[in-house]
Amino acid sequence: MFKRDPEDCPLSQEVTPPPPAVTEAERDELRRQGILLTSLQELYTWGNSHSVWPLNFGLACCAIEMIAASMAKFDIARFGSEVFRPSPRQADLLIVSGTVTKKMAPQVIRLWNQMPEPKYCIAMGACAISGGPFKQGYNVLKGIDRFIPVDIYIPGCPPRPEALLHGLVQLQKKIQGFKLTGPDAPRHLRDDQPCNCPVPEFGEHDLEPPANPEVWTAPPAIVRKD
Amino acid sequence: MSASDHAALSSQLSTPHVGGANVREVHDSFHGDLLEVSMGPHHPSTHGVFRMIVTLDGETIVKLKPVFGYLHRNHEKLGETVTYLGSMPYTDRLDYLSSMTNNWAYALAVEKLAGQAVPERAEYVRVILAELTRLLNHTCLAGFLMQDCGCSGTPLMYAFREREYILDLFESLSGSRMMCNYQRFGGCRVDPSADWLTGAQKLADRYGTFLDEFETLLTGNEIIIARTQGVGKLSPELAISAGVTGPMLRATGVNYDLRKVDAYGVYPRFDFRVPLGDHGDVYDRYMIRVLEMRESIKILQQALAGLPAGPIMDPKAKLRSFRPKAGEAYGRIEGPKGEIGFYLLSDGSPNPYRYRIRPPSFINLTVLEDMCLGHTVADAVIILGSVDIVLGEVDR
């Protein structure tokens, strides 16, 4: 697992941000004068959030709605995400669009590992969230969040293209809330967070391991008190 | 590939037995090292999570091994654990581009099993919806095929623009864009309103104009002709012996359309032709689909004009605690991809004892290697595109 050396990277050190010397009204006044005043953090998250390039990767029914979202009527290009990259090396966003079977799960996780940071994951549809209508199936993974960290969950079977766009906007808001330093910094700017996830293998009955404990813990069992 | 594997494969190699102008001969004296390429399961042109292990001699395909099961969602096993009606939403997710025809094929199988009659109005509505689904599926297929040919974007944009109009109709009728869950045993769930029928009529009236536009863009295009004619030839004998159905079979010139052969529903009342191909290549498969869309518009016009009044559901149909008597039934219709059939075995319980799907795109895919041998790897992409597969149905 890749760990960043804190001495190499000043970003990861605790830096107390200086108090804002310029008020919002003064910034507006400067903007009227043709001077744009911003901070590195704002510039970074603004650029990051408006060019989230998804991976050209469809799994099942939801992939058709994902394609529909990129077509003329819904036009995902309005949000800066129309560039579907065929290679994970060039993509920022993994949209898990459909049922992940146990045969497919290792490849999905390998794709996630091949994507460079900063990277985000959207679990699109009931199947990617929990297995959905096929949850009882012997070959269906009960949610991709067992293996990779998921940023946004979009419910639906399949979600409408508008729902995908809404999820994308939520992701953009999440990115815009990122801090460059401190404990609120995102995964790729911190030392204590893993970048890669271990790829499971076929076991005798299930994937081995059946979940990644770093990103997923089993929810507490609901016991009825009689 | 090890040296012994290479020697073994080289000895098996012969000139590919498929014909056509674009088929390249493999000359033994020029053999270099064979290269194995794994296309998929993540590949933009494999139409889902399909994997092909292609053995190449230079750029020419000498062996192609498909790998299935990346989307195996246990449809058939789940169908045994839920009630008859509970399987209806699962059929939507088989071939997720054409849920209405899946619904119909399943409803037909259960109606055969239970001896359930269907009112005439419901039969007409089913025909209207099936033909709308055919328009939707074939339009999307043409768009995806052109995407595979390399005209990235534009034809698919036009196709999806039209798809949205049809999906709007589906949504206002059934409440869902893709997963309609609309047919019931003994009729349909809701009666289409007069507004809906006007909308369908409008769509049927102007769809021909869209097809004209689409064909002006594509059909006579020199690049598309160069790319698709003579590529991926399928002989009628092989198609019949492999069980290929649908537009794939008719492109080889075999006149077999279940709408004519089985004459299910009210199809015998409509006047339409079955377009047939000559060569069985990719271009013919594209053309067959365009011509079928024109016939679908004709059927739509006739069905909308002749739609009778009356109930949409058989009043005697039993929806709750539905238990057909023990027996078996096979219901099949002509789906957009070919013969979609459901085989049901009942033991008198609320669940089917055995639930089996005959998926057209899986069976059409079995001839993929025969069509691809001797072509380049770029041709394999468009041959796969012309088969029209949906992985939800292939892997089930």
Tens-digit pLDDT profile for residues B325-356? 899 999 999 999 999 999 999 998 889 999 99
Please tell me which of the candidates B42, B72, B77 has its beta carbon nearest to residue A111. B42
Alpha-carbon gap: A193 to the closest alpha carbon of chain B (Å): 27
Tell me whether A86 touches chain B (CB under 8 Å): yes
**Residue B288 pLDDT level (bands cut at 50, 70, 90):** very high
Q: β-strand B354-358 against B339-346: which pairing, if any?
A: antiparallel
Residue pairs between chains A and B whose CB atoms are closer than 8 Å? 87
Tens-digit pLDDT profile for residues B238-267? 999 999 999 999 999 999 999 988 888 899
Is A5's pLDDT higher than 60? Answer: no
Alpha-carbon gap: A211 to the closest alpha carbon of chain B (Å): 19
H or E segment and range at residue A111: helix A105-114
Full set of structural domains in chain A with CATH: 43-202 (3.40.50.12280)
Q: Is the separation of the CB atoms in B182 and B129 below 8 Å?
A: yes
pLDDT at B41: 84
Find all residues with CB under 8 Å of B247, minimum gap 6, and list them: B138, B285, B288, B289, B292, B336, B337, B338, B388
Question: Other CB atoms closer than 10 Å to residue A218's CB: what's the count?
Answer: 9
For A216, counting Cβ atoms within 10 Å of its Cβ (0-12 exposed, 13-18 middle, 19+ buried), the class is middle
Q: How far apart are CA B384 and CA B386, in angstroms?
A: 5
Q: What is the mean pLDDT of chain B?
A: 86
Residue A196 Rama label (left phi>0; alpha psi -120 to 50; beta): beta
pLDDT at B4: 55
**Residue A218 pLDDT level (bands cut at 50, 70, 90):** confident
Tens-digit pLDDT profile for residues A186-217? 887 877 777 788 888 888 888 888 888 888 88
Q: How far apart are CA B160 and CA B150, in angstroms?
A: 17
pLDDT at A16: 62
**Residue B16 pLDDT level (bands cut at 50, 70, 90):** very low
pLDDT at B17: 47
DSSP line for A42-98: HHHHHHHHT--PBB----SHHHHHHHHHTSTTT-GGGGT----BSSGGG-SEEEEES
| pTM of the full structure | 0.86
Is A133 in Cβ contact with B77 (below 8 Å)? no
Is A4's pLDDT higher than 80? Answer: no
Residue A80 Rama label (left phi>0; alpha psi -120 to 50; beta): left
Is B74 in Cβ contact with A71 (below 8 Å)? no
pLDDT at B23: 60
Q: 3-class SS at B56? A: strand
Strands (DSSP E) along B196-337, which ranges?
Answer: 327-334
Q: Best interface-test mutation with A: which of B39, B43, B45, B73 has the largest number of A CBs within 10 A?
A: B73
Per the listing, tokens 């002006």 go with B216
Is A12's pLDDT higher than 90? Answer: no
Q: Which of the pair, A189 or B86, is modelled with greater confidence?
A: B86
Tens-digit pLDDT profile for residues B101-156? 999 999 999 999 888 889 999 999 999 999 999 999 999 999 888 888 888 778 88
pLDDT at A208: 83
Is A30's pLDDT higher than 60? Answer: yes
Cross-strand pairs, B51: B67
Is A1's pLDDT higher than 80? Answer: no
Taking contacts as CB-CB distances below 8 angstroms, the residues of chain A near B72 are 101, 103, 139
Is A120's pLDDT higher than 50? Answer: yes
Q: Is the separation of the CB atoms in B132 and B199 below 8 Å?
A: no
Q: What is the mean pLDDT of chain A?
A: 85
Mean pLDDT along residues A66-83: 89
| Percent of chain B whose pLDDT exceeds 90 | 38
Mean pLDDT along residues A213-225: 85
Q: Best interface-test mutation with B: which of A55, A61, A111 has the largest number of B CBs within 10 A?
A: A61
